[in-house]
Structure 1
Amino acid sequence: MRDFEDVLLMSGQFLEKGKISCLQMNLGYKCNLNCNHCHVEAGPHRHEQMDLAVIEDCLRFVKNARVKTVDITGGAPEMNPNLRYLIHELRKLPFVESILVRSNLAILDEDKYEDLPQFFAENKVDIVASLPCYLEENVTYQRGKGVYSKNIRILQKLNRLGYGKAGLKLNLVYNPGGNFLPGPQQELESAYKENLRQRFGIEFNSLYTITNMPIGRFRSSLEKQGLLDGYLNLLTENFNSENLGKVMCRNLINVDWQGRVYDCDFNHVLKLAIDIKDNYIGSIKPGDLVGRPIKVGSHCLTCVAGAGSSCQGSLKNKAV
């Protein structure tokens, strides 16, 4: 497998940070599920969660940088007790165009969180919902028994609230069930829409295809099966230089539960913090980041392989 830095050199391109338009906040690793592809290795046994002091510093950064999009993830971000406060405060800022929450859906079927869909709707929160497949057996393989039926119930509930059909955005996420690249996003989206509409009456806006990152649990699984080298070679062989200008790390920063800053959620997991004297979100001014080289590694080949992969799906049709 070629080193990503060598690939960049051969392409004649350089990755550096531009103006920050998206702040991605990882509210912690606590989750109701134990998915076998999870790159942050979240689960019910994890206790790390972003506290209110770090959230306040993130809000100050949003105000200073006039960030347009705040991308809230985890773990299951719904399990952080400060989520509602964060969304309330963000909704007071007129320049924040999009607040999105990345949900596994099943968490919203639990009694403690059953009112969150209504709260999200009232605050015009975009929902990015992970649904690894429209077929039950594939979801069960990745996420466990009983998760699929919960996902369907919550998607129907979100539709009743206007998500996916009345101005409230509901986007689904597909990731492959193994060591292969996703199929064409548009074709998969059509298959998802047809299947979910016919079987359950479910509507949604768009499907995002995301390539499995060879870190965390997915990497461990590949290693146990002796498949890691083959997967890494697959990524290398499908390197697409056209995706380099579209990768999300150019205009996004990721903040972990302790407030440390990274170029993306994957660098966060690998502890590749942005190279700056004090990389705590409360100490960073937006201008400090512009022009800084983005930290890269072999895992970065995942984002540029084939049609490309980002938190907003395939890069193939994304404008530079």
Structure 2
Amino acid sequence: MHETLSFLKPSDFPAITRNALEIVQVNLGYRCNLSCTHCHVNAGPKRKESMEKETVDRVLEFIRKENVRILDLTGGAPEMNPYFKYLVAEARKLEVTVIDRCNLVILEEPGYEDLAEFLAENRVEITASLPCYLEDNVDRQRGKGTFSSSLAALKKLNDLGYGQAGSGLMLNLVFNPQGASLPPDQQGLELAYKNYLFDHYGIVFNRLFALANLPVQRFGSLLISKGLFNDYMRLLKDSHRPENLNGVMCRNTLSIDWQGYVYDCDFNQMLQLPLGSGGGEKIHLNRLNARSLPGSRIAVADHCYGCTAGQGSSCGGALGVAKAP
């Protein structure tokens, strides 16, 4: 695991600074019903970390005070946090757009039978992980039976209006490569997904986001165990496109962990890289002066090349300024 320590050493990744804050991404905890091989959080059923209500209320106060318009909820499986519905409902009262980064399988788990209806009633935008449209590939990456559960969840969401033209209920899917490679062209892959899922299962969705796997936590450990870590880092660096720097998510997004500490992005959160540069102490949400964020420096390290390689990669998919080589 010593190779991961390179993230904490000086990097030649270009210096970048923040723009105005638009999105708050909140990690509600690392507990998850799945243990996917590409997970950069190392989430799973045995994880105990979960945001408490006091911190949830601090998040709500922050987005109200700072007039944040987009709340992006992630995990783990964010829906497994006991205050998930409370946070969603209160944020919607503030007329905030809420995004749920859903693994789909959670919608089919016992105890979550009403979750899809809740999301639809609150007009939550769903960004759902479906790393491939072929059963064998999905089950290999996420666990046996996850593909069939994902299809059942997608059909349930479609029946509620998600992905349907004119409904206003957004359903986006997320693709991740199987291994140490960059995602293919997002536009072409989206067309392939739409054609296959509709022709074989009658499933529709709005957009596909093609995300690169970052060598952090579980995926980083997998690369090391296979002796591929250095090769993958070389691929990311060699595929760097400087024009992608303008669109990386850390410029307008703030990441908050389950304890209320803030980071420049979810990946920095996993590496415990504090907000900004210089390696200082972690900053808690209740000490953050959001007015100081625009123009401030973003903490970067070698893993950041994963967001600028090829067509670029962000929480909203490819950055759209270059095609993958």
- Relative to the length of structure 1, the TM-score reads 0.94
Who is 1:11 aligned against? Answer: none
Work out the CA distance in 1 between the residues paired with 2:232 and 2:290.
37
Amino acid at match of 2:19: G
Work out the CA distance in 2 between the residues paired with 1:278 and 1:312.
26
Amino acid at match of 1:312: G
CA-CA distance at 1:285 after TM superposition: 2.6
Work out the CA distance in 1 between the residues paired with 2:31 and 2:306.
25
CA-CA distance at 1:277 after TM superposition: 6.8
Contact preservation (8 Å) 2:13, 2:301: no
Within 5 A, what are the aligned runs for 1:254-293? Answer: 254-275=255-276, 279-293=283-297
Pair 1:235–1:277, CA change in 2 (3 A):
closer
Contact preservation (8 Å) 2:183, 2:210: yes
Who is 1:82 aligned against? Answer: 83
Amino acid at match of 1:161: L
Who is 1:224 aligned against? Answer: 225
Who is 1:295 aligned against? Answer: 299
Within 5 A, what are the aligned runs for 1:1-320? Answer: 5-8=11-14, 14-94=15-95, 96=96, 98-165=97-164, 166-275=167-276, 279-317=283-321
* Aligned-residue identity in percent: 49
Work out the CA distance in 2 between the residues paired with 1:152 and 1:7.
40
CA displacement 1:181-208 (0-9 Å, x = unmatched): 0000000000000000011100000000
- Relative to the length of structure 2, the TM-score reads 0.93
SS at the partner of 1:6? Answer: coil
Who is 2:3 aligned against? Answer: none
Work out the CA distance in 1 between the residues paired with 2:315 and 2:282.
26
Work out the CA distance in 1 between the residues paired with 2:73 and 2:43.
15
SS at the partner of 2:12? Answer: helix
Amino acid at match of 2:286: G
Contact preservation (8 Å) 2:243, 2:321: no
CA-CA distance at 1:114 after TM superposition: 1.3
Work out the CA distance in 1 between the residues paired with 2:321 and 2:42.
30
Cα RMSD (Å) = 1.7
CA-CA distance at 1:278 after TM superposition: 6.6
CA-CA distance at 1:301 after TM superposition: 0.4
Contact preservation (8 Å) 1:256, 1:268: yes
CA-CA distance at 1:19 after TM superposition: 1.3
SS at the partner of 2:254? Answer: strand
CA displacement 1:18-37 (0-9 Å, x = unmatched): 21100000000000001111
Work out the CA distance in 1 between the residues paired with 2:182 and 2:196.
22
Amino acid at match of 1:239: H
SS at the partner of 1:23? Answer: strand
Pair 1:149–1:4, CA change in 2 (3 A):
farther
Task: Please list every run of 5 or more consecutive structure 1 residues that lacks an aligned counterpart in the other structure.
Answer: 9-13
Pair 1:270–1:67, CA change in 2 (3 A):
same
CA displacement 1:95-142 (0-9 Å, x = unmatched): x2x210001000110121110110000100000000000000000111
SS at the partner of 2:93? Answer: coil
Work out the CA distance in 2 between the residues paired with 1:173 and 1:69.
19
Contact preservation (8 Å) 2:274, 2:282: no
Contact preservation (8 Å) 1:22, 1:251: yes
CA-CA distance at 1:75 after TM superposition: 0.1
Contact preservation (8 Å) 1:171, 1:207: yes
Pair 1:304–1:154, CA change in 2 (3 A):
same
